[in-house]
Structures are given as C-alpha cells and as structure tokens.
Structure 1
Amino acid sequence: MSTFAVFGMTRDFALAEARKKTPTTRIELVKGVRVTVDLTPDEWEAAVQKRADEVMAGARTVQLCKPFDAPQFARDFIALCRNRGGCRDLTIKARAPEKDGHGQIRKTKKGAPMLSWQDYKYDAA
C-alpha cells in the first residue's frame, strides 16, 4: 500500500495552474458599454507569469507526486525538486488514521478508521 507523498509547490505546477485559470480576454468600458477584448499572446503570457508569481508567494501546497511505498523514495523526489529549483515548502506526508481533539482515532460509520495525510517525521541521517 502506497502511503507516502510529497506536498509543496513548484514553479512548474504554479505555471500549469496559471495557464488553466488565466482568461484570454479582458473586459473594457468603451463609452459606458462593456466590451470583451482578446489579449495578445504576449499580454496573456505576462498575465500567466504574474499569476504564477502570486501562487508561488502564497501558502497553498498540493500533492506533487503519486504516493510512494517508502519515505526514502519521497526524500529522493524532494532532492530532485530542489536540484531543479523553483520550489517551496516541500514536505513528506503519510496516510495515517485521523485523531480528534482527545487523542481518539476518528471512525467512519462502518467502524473503519478515517485516514488523512499527516506530516511524517523522519530522521535526516
């Protein structure tokens, strides 16, 4: 069962998200009437870069890879991301039972423990 994954943000992911969410048009007022104007490719690319910069400056993190079987593979993935550059907040999380405020494991209606991504503590040795 794969239970370890890397969470964080990379410049590549931020650019991909910005390309999906940046519109290719803008609305302008011409003599009090709203008119839709297409952006030139250079204007759109500048808007994409600006949005990607905003994503990188934010605090949001996402799952960057498919789950791994062991934490050392996740550490190797983090090393590759850091060598490539343009990343922040890279952490390893493990799929583990969720606990409530009293230390009890939360259960589903069927009695199985609820699983969620929890921070994984590992030795850096």
Structure 2
Amino acid sequence: MSTFRVYGMTECKALQLARASTPPKPGESVSEYEERVLERFNVIMESKRKVPLSAPFDAPQYAKQFIEIAKRSGRARDLRIMFPKKVQVMKRNKPVTQTVWQEYTQ
C-alpha cells in the first residue's frame, strides 16, 4: 500500500515557518517583530520551497480533497501529490536503498 502526501506551500504553513525561523530580539516591540515575521513570510511565499503539508493518505483521492480545501482557505502554490519510491544509490561505493518522493500523476 502506497502512502500519498501533499507537498507545496500555503499561507498558513509559510506563516508557521516564518515565526519558527524569526526569533524575537531583546527589547523589540511586538509590531517590529510582526513586521520582521511578515518580511520572512513574503520571502517564503515567493520562493520555490515545497514542504509536506498533509499527513499521509492511503489513497490519492484524499490528497486531492486536501488540495481543494487548501486552495479555498487562502493563497497556495505548487500543491502536488507525492508518493515515496525506493531507489538504489551508491554511497561510498556500496549500493544503498534510499526513499525519494516522486510526483503522483494519474
């Protein structure tokens, strides 16, 4: 059984990442902090970065429903359904199995 996830970026996730990567400075006012968070938020939304947005789904139709809800809830970009795939790669001249996330196409 495959596991499917939605990757991309939404306003909600970008704001969460912006707050996590922008610690408040000593003596900084709330409005100054919020302004810095907003600047970081805009950088994240304009970047190409994609992150997992959903919990794992058993079937792609549930991931499609998640995408529909995410699009209605605010700005979103690059929403894609992905699934894990095992591939063989060479590390230190030895074959190893590695999991990569590949886009699901119907």
- State the TM-score, normalized to the length of structure 1: 0.74
Question: Which residue pairs with 1:119 in the alignment?
Answer: 103
Deviation readout 1:75-111 (Å, 9 max, x if unpaired): 000000011121100000011232xxxxxxx179xx9
Percent identity reads: 38
Q: Give secondary structure in 1 for the equivalent of 2:85.
A: strand
Partners of 2:22 and 2:89 in 1: CA distance: 41
Superposition misfits of 4+ residues, deviation over 4 angstroms = none
Q: In structure 2, list runs of 5 or more residues that go unmatched.
A: none
Check if 1:80 corresponds to 2:69: yes
Query: Rg: which structure is higher?
Result: 1
User: How many matched pairs?
Assistant: 103
Check if 1:66 corresponds to 2:55: yes
- State the TM-score, normalized to the length of structure 2: 0.86
Deviation readout 1:4-52 (Å, 9 max, x if unpaired): 0000001111111111111311xxxxxxxxxxx5210001011111110
Is 1:9–1:90's contact at 8 Å kept on the other side of the alignment? yes
Partners of 2:28 and 2:76 in 1: CA distance: 29
Is 2:84–2:101's contact at 8 Å kept on the other side of the alignment? yes
Check if 1:9 corresponds to 2:2: no
Q: CA RMSD in A?
A: 2.0
More helix by share: 2
Is 1:96–1:115's contact at 8 Å kept on the other side of the alignment? yes
